Amino acid sequence: MMFKINQNKLKFSQKNKVFEEYNITMPKFHRAQEQCVFSSYRYTLYSGGLGAAKTATGVWRTLNLATMVPGIHFVGAFTMPMIKDFIVPEFIKWLSDRFPRRKWEYRKGDRVIDVFDSEIRLRQLEEEGKTRGPGYQSAWVDEFTVGVKEDTFNMLCGRLREGGRQFFTGTTNPGTKTHFAYRFWNDCSDEEKEDRLSVKSSIYDNVANLPKTYIADLETRGEDWKKRFMLGEWGSMEDSVYHEFERGTHSADFEMKSDWTYYLAVDFGYRAPFVCLLVGESGGRFYICKELYVTGQLPEDWARYINANFMKHRPKLMIADYGDAISLRSLEKLLRIPVKYPNKSVMPGIWRVKDYLKCDPDGIPGLIVHSSCSNFMREVESYEWEKSPDGKPIKEAPRKVDDHGLDAIRYLLYTLVYNLLNKYWWYGKGKIERL
């Protein structure tokens, strides 16, 4: 249950003198956006489902504060691609459309946006030192639950020390209730809640700006997934098979190394997707580096793409579903790579994947997914157990929906750790003996 909102604290910045002087109009916000953009709480969290306009909300809150409170304003995300691909285009879109051109400038080399008398600094949070520097009038972090550590959040809040009143804003998809963001905004004292606002939004708040087909497609997902990624509800994901998976922990923009051992993990399909994952291994840790998800194509098409994009890494083995023997043999000849038939046991394979999702003592999991593999991560997050008539999850029967990449990685991990490959015996998370 969210705490009672002080309505007076939502009104302070609706009258922006700079906007009035230069005839700058804001877009029409939905209810949840208004609460965030015009909040005068020191700490504001805007969490919502997919398509809830979280990035646009953060951009307009920052522009509103930057024009009202001149100074240095911080904008961050965990990785630089998140800033370049999502935040910067959103700023440029609205600045170009609504602001006088002589009153703003994007200095790409410095990763700074000058707007009127303020400077908006765009910084990645993957490296803790990026938050160091002068004090800030405001700070906004997009995708707040993706990779951002609690220590980084605390350090950033410590930079909000310039004169007057400062503001921190986080926008994000909701995570589990054990995440520090949920605890900070919800599991706090009544006195602390006086300066913390948590706004929840769903995809349906922004339905006027989204294609009906987009929403209809998402509505086919499992109930637990829909609660989190459509309704914007924080929860335990108890129906999720791989509830251990968190993008902030298991996804990264890592660099592929030449000394890694590479494999292809394949699940065949024609109407359903054909999936090929390029998986690297180093020191017993596995990295899903690249993905191919296609429908309606033949082995010649698959091979053309794999040869052009995957084979330069010289994968030593392809582990592929033998259910489609004709396609398997065709692909084997076209790629000229040894094939290993997988152990397809479902539950032992799932437990093996879950084992690799756990973090080692160094805090790094045994399975890491490159942030470009969006289809695979979508499958992980929507993969659920079947339910009994009383609605409880049956934790020995995963739903056979959107599991193609998951089958491929299950084949690979479960087969590698229990089979003899190139005179090595694999056990647990590492090579322990050469035969």
Domains of the chain: 7-210 (3.40.50.300), 247-434 (3.30.420.280)
CA-wise closest residue to 139 among 149, 126, 154: 154
Give φ, ψ of 125 to 5 degrees: -110, 5
> Cα(404)–Cα(408) distance, rounded to whole angstroms?
6
Give φ, ψ of 2 to 5 degrees: -75, 150
Over the stretch 233-278, which tens digit does the pLDDT of each residue have? Answer: 886 566 778 888 888 789 999 999 999 999 999 999 999 999 999 9
Where is 55: in which H helix or E strand? Answer: helix 54-68
Q: Would you say residue 10 has pLDDT above 50?
A: no
CA-wise closest residue to 267 among 218, 302, 217: 302
| pLDDT of 298 | 95
pTM of the model: 0.60
> Please, how many CA atoms are within 13 Å of residue 258, restricted to the half-sphere of its CB?
0
| pLDDT of 134 | 74
For 85-95, what is the mean pLDDT? 96
Q: Which residue has the higher pLDDT, 346 or 140?
A: 140
**Best mean pLDDT range from 209-218, 285-294, 415-424:** 285-294
For 12-29, what is the mean pLDDT? 85
Q: Which residue has the higher pLDDT, 418 or 80?
A: 80
Among left, alpha and beta (phi > 0; psi -120 to 50; other), residue 266 is: beta
Give 251's contacts (C-beta < 8 A, 6+ positions apart).
146, 147, 368, 369, 370, 371, 377
In the three-class reduction of DSSP (H, G, I as helix; E, B as strand; rest coil), residue 74 is classed as strand
Confidence of residue 291 (pLDDT cuts 50, 70, 90): very high
For 161-175, what is the mean pLDDT? 83
**Helical H segments across 293-403, by residue range:** 299-309, 325-335, 346-357, 374-382
Confidence of residue 178 (pLDDT cuts 50, 70, 90): low
For 180-185, what is the mean pLDDT? 88
Q: 404-416 and 374-382 helices cross at what angle (nearest 10)?
A: 90
Distances (CA, A) of 386 to 241, 331, 352, 389, 396: 10, 33, 19, 10, 8
| pLDDT of 129 | 56
C-beta atoms surrounding 176 within 10 Å: 14
| pLDDT of 64 | 95
Cα dihedral 184, 188, 191, 193 sign: positive
Over the stretch 362-420, which tens digit does the pLDDT of each residue have? Answer: 888 999 999 999 999 988 887 888 877 765 667 778 888 889 999 999 999 998 876 54
